[in-house]
Amino acid sequence: MHIMDSTFSNCLRTGVCLGAGVWLSFSAYAFTPNPTPEPDPDPPSNTGVIENGRYVLINRSSDTAMTVASGSLDNGANVIQQEYTGQPFQQWDVNNLGNGYYSIRAVHSGQSLDVWEWNGSDGADVRQWPYLNAENQHWKIESTGPDSYSIVSRFSDKAIDVVSAPSGDGANVSLWTFTSGASQSWKFVNAADVGNGSSDDGGDSDDDYYSDDTGTSSRPLLTTNQATRYTIRNYLAGAGSLASGLRTDNWNPTAGIGDVTQLNARYVVATSGGSHRTVQSAINAAVSAGGGSAINIEVKPGTYREVLCVPSSAPPINLYSLDTDASKTLVVYNNLAGTTRRAGVNTCNNSSSSTYGTTGSATVTIKANHFRAKNMTFANDGNENTISNGGTQGVAILTESDQVVFENMRFLGNQDTFYAKTGSEDLVKRVYVKSSYIEGDVDFIFGGATMVFDDCVVHYLHTRQGRNGGILFAPSTNSRNSYGILVINSRFTAQSGTSANLIHLGRAWDEGLSNTSQYANKVRSGSYPNGQLLIRETNMANHIRANDPWRDSTASRPYSASEGSYPANRFHEYHNDH
């Protein structure tokens, strides 16, 4: 098979095939799993030479270790050689697939060594990618001499090699025609024999290497090196289509909205009269006015019991109060997912169902890009006791748009308070929340959008849940998106009376999937929900579970920090204060 162009190559990798609908669901053919690989017409001549286990792969020519560059957790991160320092991104889980073929997966990410873009040429990149049981992720491991092995791709029959600057750190690992030379020979050193290091003692007693504390399998921590990639800037750098490539605009909203007293309000909302008595009527006026410049809407302190819809056709809007006490300016409504639908209440949700559902329950829905709000409260005060069908989800804020900014805001609810979605698994949309307060009890910050919570308070309410506990986050980030939810420089607090060691930090929302069988089928497509969440430099009260803060997914996929029957969960912490 000849790979004709990058579009077809992308089709092979993602299963998203473009061009007049010719290639429909190619992944059903390209990635159909084979629990036991089909017999190879030319199987390896020396099989079973490596036992299943965790190894450090040392190149014979350079005496350096096969390493995922910068310890990245990203899909498609490059593989290089580097001096071994005991890092988990320099260790590999090797598993015999049968008939002499192996999978080789990075310990820190659970992702597989992968022939990048199915490139069969000399010099093809080797990178990490979620394991799909495809031939470009199957490897022959054959003895080339005492304690030396070649690693040969089943797909191309080319060997993993270090060609450029073989004696230096950072040289690329790639594929070349097999020669059995030293640069294609690798030592498989049991990771337990060289140690993992510790931030406390600089290394295990049997090694000289240093590593940050990487936590435990049930509470994994990023190393300092890994954490450098997971910054506000990187989370918010790009948006758009995952299939065709994200648009990098390096959006930086960290300055916030600024001094709203300097804004010239085009519309003023007040319960006692302004240009408008309802917030929605002012939004409607802004939509009618249109244009590309931001329209400023000042909202006077008061309680506005209404549902807001900012449609996708709206121009950029700044919605704000001049009173810096955000509790004084309140937009609130009481729709829950199980509430019987009433005509005209939520114009952003046109479902014909008899009840609102989670999306339709939102008090405030933002579908327009470049929306910003400051000094206000958005709340859902629905009474769960009035619902008999289990639909107690009540969204306070829902975003389905890009470059949304909230500053000095309060978001109040119980289950599903803050919902940020993308509208399609192929899209990336971004929300930045600064110096704000979010409260709830179950999955109350959730969705598939890229979200950053900077200097925020995440407050748990125990009134409904009691000893049952609760869950803070439920991301549904697409597997192809490296950046889901970032919480940084924030505080996790709890309602008085909440028991210690009770609350889970989060679980993966396997959106649209109800069981593990459906999830496994979705994984084979190459595009599936696998929530990403990093909590860093954040203070957590003792209501958070200390040893096992992550819960099984909504589809009952067991939590695991490493690849197994399912892709590894993408939940991590870094330098938090407990």
Query: CA nearest 295: which of 334, 335, 327, 267?
Result: 267
Q: Are 40 and 102 a contacting pair, CB within 8 Å? A: no
- HSE value, Cβ hemisphere, 13 Å, CA-based, for 36: 3
Nearest to 417 by CA among 400, 435, 391, 438: 438
For the chain, the C-alpha Rg in angstroms (whole number) is 26
Note whether 213 and 198 are within 8 A (CB).
yes
How many beta carbons lie within 10 A of that of residue 343, not counting itself?
Answer: 4
As a whole number of angstroms, the distance between CA 29 and CA 36 comes to 16
Q: How far is CA 367 from CA 321, 347, 431, in A?
A: 21, 11, 12
Determine which one of 93, 212, 416, 454 is catalytic: 416
Asked if residue 57 lies in contact with residue 64, where contact means CB atoms within 8 angstroms, the answer is no
C-alpha–C-alpha distance, residues 577 and 134, integer Å: 42
Burial class (CB in 10 A: 0-12, 13-18, 19+), 468: exposed
Tokens of 484: 């889901």
Known catalytic residue: 416?
A: yes
Active site residue 204: no
How many helices (H) and strands (E) the chain has is answered by: 8, 41
Amino acid letter for position 576: N
- Token digits of residue 213: 């504390």
5: its two tokens: 């162009």
Burial 123-136 (b: 16+ CB within 10 A, else e): ebbbbbbbbbbbbb
> Quick check: 362 and 346 in contact, CB under 8 A?
yes
Q: Among residues 74, 114, 212, 443, which one is catalytic?
A: 443
Provide the residue count of the chain: 578
Enzyme catalytic residues: 416, 443
